[in-house]
Amino acid sequence: MHKRTIIKLIGWLIICLSGFIFLFSQIKLDKRRDRSVIPCAITPDLKTSIERICKYSDSPEKIIKDCSGLACKELSFTAKNNIQCGKANCVGYAQLTSTIINYAFQVKKLPYKAKPVVGKVHLFGIDLNNVAQKILPKKHRPFFKDHDFVEVDLGDKTVFIDSSLQDLTGFTYIQTYINETSH
């Protein structure tokens, strides 16, 4: 009887985890505009970590993912930005992540560019920023009117990555779009 209970529990855990992963896989990022870049200092320790990523990353996409993970290790989420102290909101995460990615591209001598952008977060096509505007108290609404993430131009592709959502949920949010070329 004990074995049967454990198997049922494991089954339910797998179902719940699968549902959770499916739910978060449906999050989509929608760019509205570019954000002004605020220079972030790269400490010697951070440079060493970025250079280690460059040594073991064989593609721009892997560099982007690993750099986003590094930003998550460097920061913790808070309402006000203080990147030097390791605290940031989505604006700070996007600023630091783009700085880290650009330094990695510089080290690898790659011609790509990352930049922070402002947009919206959608789940199953529903604008979560608008939902937050309707359900949150007025004093919190300005904070949730939009969301910052990183856009990376890889020439033939554009990648969006969101390290603040990654840090909050533990899941990597990355979207890739093939750029249309004129013939």
Residues 45-92 have pLDDT tens digits of 999 999 999 999 989 999 999 999 999 999 998 888 899 999 999 999
**Token pair belonging to 139:** 């004093």
- Give me the domains of the chain, ranges plus CATH numbers: 41-174 (3.10.620.30)
Asked if 146 and 139 count as a contact pair (C-beta separation under 8 A), the reply is no
Q: How confident is the model at residue 175 (pLDDT cuts 50, 70, 90)?
A: confident
Q: What is the pLDDT of residue 139?
A: 62
Mean pLDDT of the residues in the chain: 85
Distances in Å between the alpha carbon of 14 and those of 5, 9, 19, 166?
A: 14, 9, 9, 21
